[in-house]
């Protein structure tokens, strides 16, 4: 018995030592690339060189190191430490990024444009997914590109509709742009990721089902169940944390460590709870971030407020930078299918068309029910269309498709997605500064605008309070008067929610009386 217990421990000790050395070298290289990325980003920012944003620089570093490792005789055991595992991305890298997105939302610009943001992120992403999938299927049927089954085309449309404007937003902050344009791009990207993941997982479930007669109804019901359930879970965890920190009496000096530890654990609890019951952790942790910033954050002590703000900003920056390095390295190391170049080229064209249908179609819908001084200008619509970069989310879902689809089909989608990611991040991201100058939407002090709220200027449109659009009384006699009356009722509902938040939710969940401005932060 003793020999049986001891023998596995003594098995191949030299191999274990080599694995430990390989792990050490791999982690060392990752740390070196992180340091290089942050230093490069600082130098580029300091010299205001917008042709190579930080995310693009991190991606390039990963690509270069990956190419060098590919052509060298680097040990396989070391190279395996750089493989992009979608489980690692979804469980460890993505949660802090999404939580920070919800946690750092500026309440006034976000909620003043909330109707438009929801329209772009929910309706627009759905439309873009269907248009992309339909065009890819149509292109295959016309023998312009490799033909995939219709449901697989919709899966590709869903994953490639996930935008990642980290590069664009960093340039927006550097050069200064309209506060409402920033809110639209930022808000759409936050909700867009959750929508794209839910759509992809729903389409993947449909692809595994055999009965096609119930496909469309099942897609709609499954998506609504997932999205509503995930949002409810996230909001519930956020409210629970607010009550805990309000009544537990943790905001004392000697309990600061406990207070911070609990606050940091709640977002991951929300994410894992949703994933554990088959919902979307991304949607859940996003709304947990919004609720915790609105209600829980003000219940913390000042020292804890400062710490958690800095902590989540820190790990979010590390996760974003590491993701782009990780992604660049894996793009260089993975096997790609370059035999269907037509699929790649037409896919790039089709996602541009689908993005245009999304942005300009939704903007037309939003402007249809807004007053003249509240309409989204055409130059902002063009900037929003140009901001649809693809990044880590699309790449991770494409990696997932390698397991969800037949080998050849998954490989084609993965190769097309990686090409689109590199093209959009490097080319479009690098030309964003020139695009903003050409559209004449630069020059505003974004940080000041965020902190001071909305002020009218010659080139800044006035956002409506909370709704998709508040139509004037004269408009109610037009052909769309019935729908506009419903929008007015919706506007009254959102205004009532503001009153409910101020008079009931804020006093109940926070130590504030509800008489403040409602920004929901203690910074």
pLDDT for res 364? 92
pLDDT in tens, the chain (523 residues): 444 444 444 456 776 777 777 777 778 888 888 999 999 988 888 887 777 878 888 889 988 888 887 777 665 555 566 666 777 888 888 899 889 888 887 767 777 788 888 899 889 999 999 999 999 999 999 988 889 999 899 999 999 998 876 667 777 776 677 778 888 888 888 788 878 888 888 888 877 775 444 556 766 777 788 888 998 999 999 999 999 998 887 767 677 888 899 999 999 999 999 989 888 888 899 889 989 998 999 899 888 899 999 999 999 989 888 888 888 887 887 777 777 888 999 999 999 999 999 999 999 998 988 888 778 899 889 888 988 888 888 888 888 888 888 878 888 998 999 899 888 888 887 787 788 788 877 755 554 444 333 333 444 455 555 443 344 444 444 445 554 554 455 455 555 667 777 778 888 888 876 554 444 444 4
**Structural domain includes residue 201:** yes
pLDDT for res 453? 37
**Structural domain includes residue 309:** yes
The H or E element containing residue 310 is helix 302-333
SS3 9: helix
Tell whether 212 and 318 lie within a shared domain. Answer: yes
Tell whether 68 and 113 lie within a shared domain. Answer: no
**Structural domain includes residue 16:** no
pLDDT for res 12? 63
Tell whether 276 and 216 lie within a shared domain. Answer: yes
Q: Which residues contact 187 (CB under 8 A, 6 or more apart)?
A: 105, 110, 113, 114, 117, 120, 121
**Structural domain includes residue 496:** no
Q: Which candidate, 197, 204, 222, 205, places its Cα nearest to that of 397?
A: 197
Enumerate the H helices of 72-178 as residue ranges. Answer: 76-79, 86-88, 94-103, 107-112, 114-118, 125-141, 150-160, 166-175
The residue segments making up the domain with residue 137 are: 86-439
pLDDT for res 455? 38
Identify the domain boundary among 67, 82, 97. Answer: 82
Identify the domain boundary among 390, 424, 439. Answer: 439
In whole angstroms, give the CA distance from residue 255 to residue 247. Answer: 14
Tell whether 66 and 102 lie within a shared domain. Answer: no
Q: Which candidate, 112, 316, 108, 286, places its Cα nearest to that of 193?
A: 286
pLDDT for res 87? 79
Tell whether 134 and 227 lie within a shared domain. Answer: yes
Tell whether 34 and 166 lie within a shared domain. Answer: no
pLDDT for res 448? 45
Tell whether 232 and 268 lie within a shared domain. Answer: yes
Q: Are residues 156 and 132 in contact, defined by beta-carbon separation less than 8 angstroms?
A: yes
CB atoms within 10 A of CB 211: 8
Tell whether 232 and 327 lie within a shared domain. Answer: yes
**Structural domain includes residue 474:** no
Domain count of the fold of the chain: 2
Q: Which stretches of 365-487 are assigned E, i.e. beta strand?
A: none
**Structural domain includes residue 489:** no
In whole angstroms, give the CA distance from residue 490 to residue 499. Answer: 14
Tell whether 254 and 348 lie within a shared domain. Answer: yes
> Taking the CA of residue 97 as centre, how many other CA atoms within 13 Å lie in the half-sphere pointing to its CB?
26
Tell whether 54 and 150 lie within a shared domain. Answer: no
Identify the domain boundary among 43, 60, 82. Answer: 82
Give a three-class secondary structure readout of 219-257: HHHHHHHHHHHHHHHHHHHHHHHHHHHHHCCCCCHHHHH
Tell whether 91 and 234 lie within a shared domain. Answer: yes
pLDDT for res 481? 59
The H or E element containing residue 402 is helix 392-404
Tell whether 373 and 348 lie within a shared domain. Answer: yes
**Structural domain includes residue 501:** no
**Structural domain includes residue 454:** no
In this structure, what CATH number is given to the domain that contains residue 197?
Answer: 1.20.1530.20
In whole angstroms, give the CA distance from residue 176 to residue 155. Answer: 36
């Amino acid at each position: 018995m003793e020999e049986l217990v001891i023998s596995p421990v003594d098995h191949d000790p030299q191999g274990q030592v080599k694995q430990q050395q390989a792990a050490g070298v791999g982690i060392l290289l990752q740390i070196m690339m992180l340091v290089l990325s942050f230093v490069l980003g600082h130098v580029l920012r300091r010299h205001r060189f917008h042709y190579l944003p930080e995310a693009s620089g991190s991606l390039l570093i990963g690509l270069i190191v990956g190419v060098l490792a590919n052509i060298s005789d680097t040990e396989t055991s070391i190279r395996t430490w750089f493989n992009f595992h979608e489980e690692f991305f979804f469980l460890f890298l993505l949660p802090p990024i999404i939580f920070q997105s919800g946690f750092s939302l500026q309440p006034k610009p976000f909620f003043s444009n909330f109707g438009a943001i929801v329209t772009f992120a929910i309706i627009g992403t759905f439309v873009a997914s269907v248009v992309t999938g339909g065009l890819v299927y149509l292109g295959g049927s016309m023998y312009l590109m490799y033909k995939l089954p219709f449901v697989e085309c919709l899966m590709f449309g869903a994953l490639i509709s996930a935008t990642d404007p980290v590069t664009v937003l960093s340039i927006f902050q550097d050069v200064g742009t309209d506060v409402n344009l920033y809110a639209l791009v930022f808000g759409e990207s936050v909700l867009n990721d959750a929508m794209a993941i839910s759509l992809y997982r729903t389409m993947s479930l449909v692809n595994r089902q055999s009965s096609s007669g119930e496909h469309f109804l099942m897609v709609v019901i499954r998506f609504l169940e997932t999205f509503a359930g995930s949002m409810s879970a996230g909001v519930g965890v956020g409210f629970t944390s607010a009550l805990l920190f309000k009544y537990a009496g943790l905001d004392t000096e000697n309990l600061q460590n406990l207070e911070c530890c609990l606050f940091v654990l709640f977002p991951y609890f929300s994410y894992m709870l949703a994933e554990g019951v088959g919902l979307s952790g991304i949607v859940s942790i996003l709304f947990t971030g919004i609720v915790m910033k609105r209600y829980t954050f003000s219940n913390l002590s000042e020292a804890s407020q400062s710490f958690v703000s800095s902590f989540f900003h820190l790990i979010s920056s590390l996760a974003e930078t590491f993701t782009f390095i990780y992604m660049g390295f894996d793009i260089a190391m993975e096997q790609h299918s370059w035999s269907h170049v037509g699929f790649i080229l037409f896919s790039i064209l089709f996602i541009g068309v689908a993005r245009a249908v999304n942005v300009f179609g939704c903007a037309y819908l939003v402007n249809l029910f807004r007053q003249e001084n509240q309409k989204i200008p055409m130059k902002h619509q063009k900037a929003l269309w140009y901001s649809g970069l693809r990044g880590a989310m699309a790449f991770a879902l494409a990696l997932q498709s390698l397991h969800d689809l037949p080998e050849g089909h998954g490989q084609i989608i993965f190769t097309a997605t990686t090409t689109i990611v590199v093209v959009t991040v490097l080319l479009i991201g690098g030309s964003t500064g020139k695009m903003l100058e050409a559209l004449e939407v630069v020059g505003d002090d974004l940080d000041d605008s965020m902190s001071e709220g909305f002020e009218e200027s010659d080139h800044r449109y006035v956002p409506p309070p909370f709704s998709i659009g508040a139509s004037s009384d004269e408009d109610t006699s037009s052909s769309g008067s019935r729908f506009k009356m419903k929008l007015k009722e919706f506007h009254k509902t959102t205004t009532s929610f503001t009153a409910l938040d101020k008079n009931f939710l804020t006093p109940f969940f926070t130590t504030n009386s509800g008489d403040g401005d409602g920004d929901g932060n203690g910074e």
